[in-house]
Amino acid sequence: MKRLFKLLLILLIFSCAGSNDVRLQDYYELRKNDFFIPGFTVDLEEIVEKSKLTGKPILFYFNSLGCVNCRKMEERVLGNRFIAKTIVENFLFIPLVVDDRTKIPVDQRQQSRFSKKMMRTVGTVNVDLAIEICKCGSQPYFSVVNAEKETLGAIGYTPNKRTFFQFLESSIEKDKDTVY
């Protein structure tokens, strides 16, 4: 058993070494977001300004706490070193949970542009944002938006790392035309 553990440890160390690998700290930065920050939502105008300042497009990740496919994507695809490195280096990564039940203070509530109802939870604000950005309400859903609020690419559930990586690369390529 000790031998097996030592062998796995050595393999882990070697698999994390190399110039093409993401540093563990970078991977941790992506995982630290943990894809769920209670009460987290964004102001679209604010994040677009940040995109202009950084010169990076925005990668929105709409997910749900009860979404099994979201957890599969996080584990199998977003957990991949090369995909994590690509995201950290090239995008403003914004994970938004559409079923977050964190209450919004009464004085900060707004009316949904789509349902015309008052949005009482962070999740309803994130759903509204998903509809505005993606015209979609499914999870998991990824949408890349540039500083001009143009969608550069979008993809739903795909357990295939290569397909997801191609989606990221295609979005990066399309973003080269964006003037920041």
CB 119 within 8 A of CB 33: no
> Is the entire prediction scored with pTM above 0.85?
no
Give the CATH number of domain 22-175: 3.40.30.10
DSSP state of 18: S
164 vs 156: CA distance, rounded Å: 9
**End-to-end C-alpha distance for the chain, whole angstroms:** 55
**Each residue of 36-83: pLDDT tens digit?**
566 677 788 888 999 999 999 999 999 998 899 999 998 899 988 899
